[in-house]
Structure 1
Amino acid sequence: MTQTITRLNSSDANFQQQLQQLLAFEESSDDTVHQRVLDIIANVRSKGDQAVLDYTNQFDQCSLTNAAEMELTQEQLKAAWDSLPEDKADALQTAANRVQAYAEKQKMESWQYTEADGTILGQKITPLDRAGLYVPGGKASYPSSVLMNAIPAKVAGVRELIMVVPTPQGHTNELVLAAAYLSGVDRVFTIGGAQAVAALAYGTESIPAVEKIVGPGNIYVATAKKLVFGQVGIDMIAGPSEILIICDGKTDPDWIAMDLFSQAEHDQDAQAILLSDDADFLDAVAQSIEKLLPEMERAEIIKASLSTRGALIKTESLIEAAEVANTIAPEHLELSVADPEALCAHIRNAGAIFMGRYTAEALGDYCAGPNHVLPTSGTARFSSPLGVYDFQKRSSLIFCSAEGANTLGKTASVLARGESLTAHARSAEYRLK
């Protein structure tokens, strides 16, 4: 199986243009999809449960007759957990424990301070009342996504966590349901698609409206999340998976090739890029790709991904590689070098940074502890991994003593009158001594 992969060199005059062409990607969301999702949302808003039932029967080939059949019981979730083989139960429990331990470190706490005149300023931290978790169904089975989305919400103190997961032809995935039980999900509805997002955003007779929707989905789900944003919060609009590796040429090239495969196998739009200051090493990795690709179950998907969006890039130095990485702002960044901490000091933009030769990105996907819901498509320039803080709100606290109201009121009065907002000014002035 001959594999072609783009080769770039940072010393080429048109390197930046070539790099931008490599990174260019736009999710194919056409007007037809947009209008279809708008129609689904409107129908769910007006007809509630009945619309959700109709769409579920239509799209998932189910035969639900009433709203009660859309919801799984806690007993069913527990039965899924109890039925797991020991090795899967142990792996799921280990991953859950690590995700929770990491999440516990992220909790924000309320704080306040008192000024000399008795004025108190502070910040009150409050968890969301209710959050919605979208979990893909069908051929996909992502129990790890259940853990990564549900556990931080629970650690944050979210009162009620509602999970939706499609079950095509009524087939449930026991591992996903077991993960929901283990994570403390409160209610699970067997629905998916844009109709599930609309139900979570606006509520129906049976499905409660939530404050925020998190979790990945297809183009219909992503479009629906965009359209309901504002009515509810959302985590992010995730693009294709990405991995960027910086290597000093001293790691086994087979390891690096397989690390590239680990993201390329997601889908043909995934992006896998290797940066190195060692041209011979890039050649060695290319040979490893050629050697290992025929062994892979998803060889055709990997081949399509690497040939259309993958690249092996020669840089003048590791520091320059770090600057290229900052331009790319990848979802996953592996620093497969002798001194990853030193190189990490030069990294400004990345969703998750995997330090050292032994830290495969795949560990982060499942069980390292940090969240695997990460910014993609260059959004790591301004956004962060999903975490406990995404399920907590900050409220400002202001308490003025009489003396503080007298001092601040004079300042506020001057500024308000400067903006010709007389009622603002007089409201402050009433409290002056």
Structure 2
Amino acid sequence: MFSSLRIYFSPFVKKNEELRLLQIFKPLYIVLSFLGLIPCSIEFPQGNVDCIILHKSAFNHSCCAFLTLLLVYVFFGLHVYEVLTSREENALADDQMAKANYIIELVTQFTFCNATYFCAFRYKDIYMSILKEITRSWDDLPYVNRGIILGRIRVKVNCGVIGSICLILLTLTAVTYAGSSSLWKRILITISFNLPEMIQFILIAFYYVLILMVVALMKNIEDHCRMFMKARRSTSIKNSSSKVELGRIPVTLSQMKCVYVKALRVKRQINAVFQAPIMLSLFQCFHTMVSESYDICLGLLYQDNFTTHNLIENSYWVLLQLLKIYALARSGSLLKAEALAIGRTIHNIQSDDDDIKLFVEIQHFSTLMTFQGTEITIFGYFPLEAPLMFNMVAAAAMYLIILVQFAKTR
């Protein structure tokens, strides 16, 4: 058992270990299937076999999605009713401003869940196309040691992504049930807030892992470009310009270019499928950062009954939003950095004056990279890149200053 766990979390892939790119997605796939966020079952065969889609299992996944949404619908109604009718001293929201923010937060979580499940079943064919395209593109360039790439991604997914989801679930439950509110209110918060929040994190993890797989494809292209560049510098270069023989295996720039085009096609499909849920998630993140920070400021400045638990709970919710924004911004930066690495490697490939064919292929590859951008945008309005986090935090701080000034003058 210990040896199996060590392999599961190891960044090194053994020679006798048949690890494929799609198998790294398997732990997250189990979580997605439990919540019905993926429309069909997938088999993960060993060896050079394409992933198998089990369309007959769509009914089971639809039932999981229906039960999850039904639970969110019922407790959303109960929670709104509780907020509007409660007259207790420890009510969920004790003034009109707080009630408005509280209901807006509920509505954003509710809307996100609707959009997420709608997109999951509306674009189910694109989901399957993405996974198949990734599997086939990974096998198009098999002539370098890809175990290093797979090992690093396995650690990122199993330790970083899955570990973060488990840690967030545990801490979110602990923060919710550590307060002094009644059991019924804790249950309402768990189903109406915590469950949609976990769905958000799982969806962002789904998106992030798919982006990591595209980055792995591009890293594989970069390794082949480096292999090509080293071979051009060696004495074993053949006069066929764009072809280098490593043993009996030819590697061409055209083949690398085709895989690059496929990787960017997968990127565009991921962009189309996830942009609506991500947009709603970012809207919810912005509102939560402002409202929770506003509650912290009012509690520390003007409220005598503001407890340490309230401070920790509000701060924790702000931290969760920052974590989601960071993951989204990080995904776009990874893609852009890997594309730049491929471009630098291609420009370092030497071509002789008589080697016109190779020169033209390098120029064509470079032009292709220029006009096929790696940006992931939200309906073309803004890209998911590193400046996203700074822009979101700066905008939230500006609105928070305005709200605190209004509160001071009341």
- What TM-score bracket applies, with the shorter chain setting the length? under 0.3
TM-score, normalized by length of structure 1? 0.23
TM-score, normalized by length of structure 2? 0.24
The answer to which structure has the higher helix fraction is 2
The answer to which structure has the higher strand fraction is 1
